Amino acid sequence: MKFSLTQKLTNKQAIIGIVGLGYVGLPLTIRFCEVGYKVIGFDIDPEKVTVLNAGKSYIEHIPESLIQNAIGHGFEATTHFSRVSEADALILCVPTPLNQYREPDLSFVTNTTDSLLPYLRPGQVVSLESTTYPGTTDEELLPRIESTGLKVGENAFLVYSPEREDPGNINFTTRTIPKVCGGYTPSCLEVGLALYGQVIDRVVPVSSTRAAELTKLLENIHRAVNIGLVNEMKMVADKMGIDIHEVIRAAATKPFGFVPYYPGPGLGGHCIPIDPFYLTWKAREYGVHTRFIELAGEVNSSMPDYVIAKVTAALNSLKKSINGSRVLVLGISYKKNVDDMRESPSVVLMEKLRDLGAEVSYSDPYVPIFPKMRQHNFDLSSVQLSQDLIAGYDCVLLATDHDRFDYDLIKSSAKLIIDTRGRYLRESSQIFKA
């Protein structure tokens, strides 16, 4: 059965099922379609399914032409999981957030897997791409799949291959980013390599699903720790009257031994703020206390409060308080030049300002209307920047430095600017670095 499945995958005769059509699943869908596979996309959101089947995109950096091209190659989206049996490969691209206690929430993974079980059949491969702790694939997915009577490694196959999408990064695509893949058994790995080998330029095999799971965590913890370091350095530099961005630019001229990381108002996105806690939680099971990782998490989590303190001090310099002040937040997505709002520190800043009595507005060319979010609620729309509008605010808080902003207009019009991204290189009396 392994041979027949790998042959179907290699010959592009296999039907691919992508479960979860978000920032990870949708680019992967497009890539499989580009090389000639038929793809069925599964999602629990009927509105999203309707939009995609109409050939439209709901993600700003994914053009509609790519969706329409995928449809031309046979792509269709559905909410009906009964069609799972049609697919030869099932790739799970669902969220893995934290719960209110900052512990792993695997409910999306387990509930999705449970939805697949009635329709699984011999000769399929299941691949999990969601970021998670080592052991998830064999502890959670394996027993569920085998509860159907299938035998993983013989007539069904199970792999873990972590997503590495970077929304808005034009230098790397789904095709060109090397893909790590680990199988539960050697046969599973062979099938996994056949699954991804036709769509990714380089597939990197590892010895197990656990090694692949830990690889993903290491990648993102590496970033989280280094961002924590540079955020702490920013606070030290600020006390010394030194511009940390100038220091980073100078240090980055060293051709070896230094990689530049940049401070900000907090961590955002679907990986960096969350992934370290998946490892620290799992490490406790083995009696290991990950002090270094947790310290970085504490520093990064404290950055919104640091920014609010800067706003308070800046307004005080004008004999104003936050309570009653009009504050304009520039950029509410988690990184520049995308519409991705997941774990955005800008939203945390907006809530803290609102709780302190500020009248909060925002401007973001990528987010015209504040979206419905599980934990945050604002009934706001993006305001159009103009000289008069900017001048009407007591404070402008630059939270996400989109390239579309007119920074000269902002500087010439604002009474007060709090710059959390180092966009303004030379300070003036109205600009405060945070």
Which two structure tokens, joined as six digits, stand for 147? 């509860």
Residue pair 331/402 in contact by the 8 Å Cβ criterion: yes
Count Cβ neighbours within 10 Å for each residue of 198-235 and write b for 16 or more, e otherwise.
Answer: bbbeebebbebbbebbbbbbebbbebbbebbbbbbbbb
Q: What is the pLDDT of residues 43-95, one digit of tens each?
A: 999 999 999 999 999 998 899 999 999 999 999 999 999 999 999 999 999 99
The per-residue pLDDT for 426 is: 66
Q: Render 315-368 in DSSP notation, one character per residue.
A: HHHTT--STT-EEEEE--SSSTTS---TT-HHHHHHHHHHHTT-EEEEE-TT-S
The pTM for the full model equals 0.92
Which two structure tokens, joined as six digits, stand for 269? 């996105």
The per-residue pLDDT for 199 is: 97
The per-residue pLDDT for 168 is: 79
Residue pair 27/167 in contact by the 8 Å Cβ criterion: no
Residue pair 420/399 in contact by the 8 Å Cβ criterion: yes
What's the CA gap between 390 and 378, in Å, rounded?
20
The per-residue pLDDT for 425 is: 77
Task: List the chain residues with pLDDT less than 50.
Answer: none
Give the N- to C-terminal CA distance of the chain in Å, as an integer.
59
For residue 192, count CB atoms less than 10 angstroms from its CB and return exposed for 0-12, middle for 13-18, buried for 19 or more. buried
In the chain, helix, strand, coil percent, each to 5? 40, 15, 45
What's the CA gap between 266 and 288, in Å, rounded?
26
- The residues assigned a catalytic role are 271
The per-residue pLDDT for 267 is: 87
The per-residue pLDDT for 372 is: 84
Cα separations (Å) of 46 from 20, 50, 90, 108, 340?
12, 6, 20, 17, 20
Cα separations (Å) of 158 from 136, 141, 146, 302?
12, 8, 11, 39
Dihedral over Cα of 191, 194, 200, 203: its sign: positive
Which two structure tokens, joined as six digits, stand for 130? 């969601």
What's the CA gap between 62 and 165, in Å, rounded?
13
CATH topology of domain 231-433: Rossmann fold (3.40.50)
Please provide the CATH number assigned to the domain covering 2-207. Answer: 3.40.50.720
Residue pair 397/290 in contact by the 8 Å Cβ criterion: no
Residue pair 423/401 in contact by the 8 Å Cβ criterion: yes
Pairing relation of β-strands 15-19 and 431-433?
unpaired
DSSP 385: P
What's the CA gap between 331 and 152, in Å, rounded?
47
Instruction: Name the 3-class secondary structure at 264.
Output: coil
Residue pair 10/194 in contact by the 8 Å Cβ criterion: yes
The per-residue pLDDT for 383 is: 98
What's the CA gap between 296 and 221, in Å, rounded?
9
- Give ranges for CATH 3.40.50.720 in the chain: 2-207, 231-433
Neighbouring-strand partners of residue 179: 203
Angle, helices 345-355 vs 291-317, to 10°: value is: 50
The per-residue pLDDT for 331 is: 98
